[in-house]
Amino acid sequence: MPLGRIDEETTANIGKIEGGGATNIVCDYARLEAEARSIAREKLDRQIAAMRDAVSSAAQEYNARGEFKSEIVYPAYSHDDGDPVVELAKAAIASIGCKPRTFRSGGGSDANIFNGLGVPTVNLAIGYEHIHTTNEQIRAADLAKTAELVVALIEQAASRRR
């Protein structure tokens, strides 16, 4: 099963492995919880198919039964630099004295959900360090700057509606 950083747009991980019950018996089942994410839907579909094939192949090899369920939790999305939602965010960032920089991310966030529902949304990097680790942190100054950014985003959005 291809795992880790598959390409610059696609990632896959196994987050949980569990099975059986008591420690003194042969396990009667194993359950994997995994995820796959990609900015490109077609790449996500290929990754899910590869994961499904790996489960099927392993089950067949060991004369077992394999079940595979998948659901899209974080729909893929992509915005270009000139898109209105990106321009609004860049203007707000510049208005608080920061330099906007755009880049693609393979992470899953509320932005994926909103975009999947048709609400154009960008995900903002706000200064987290060592994200998703036991050392995750954000500087107090970055947290305060984020509050400024929220106000600037609202002001930019309001000024564009006039």
pLDDT in tens, 52-84: 999 999 999 999 999 999 998 888 888 999 999
Sequence-separated (6 or more) residues with CB below 8 Å from residue 26: 20
Q: Does position 107 have pLDDT exceeding 80, yes or no?
A: no
Q: What is the pLDDT of residue 28?
A: 87
pTM across the whole model: 0.74
CA dist list (Å): 83 to 57, 98, 114, 125, 158:
43, 20, 16, 18, 17
Q: What is the pLDDT of residue 102?
A: 94
Query: Do residues 137 and 155 make contact, with C-beta atoms less than 8 angstroms apart?
Result: no
Over residues 138-159, mean pLDDT: 96
Query: Do residues 37 and 74 make contact, with C-beta atoms less than 8 angstroms apart?
Result: yes
Q: What is the pLDDT of residue 106?
A: 73
Sole residue written with tokens 């959900």: 113
The average confidence (pLDDT) of the chain is 93
Phi first, then psi: give them for residue 132, nearest 5 degrees. 65, 30
- pLDDT over 70, % of the chain: 100
Over residues 143-151, mean pLDDT: 97
**pLDDT, tens digit (0-9, with 9 covering 90-100), for 11-40:** 999 999 999 888 888 888 899 999 999 888
Q: What is the pLDDT of residue 23?
A: 86
Q: What is the pLDDT of residue 73?
A: 87
Q: What is the pLDDT of residue 117?
A: 94
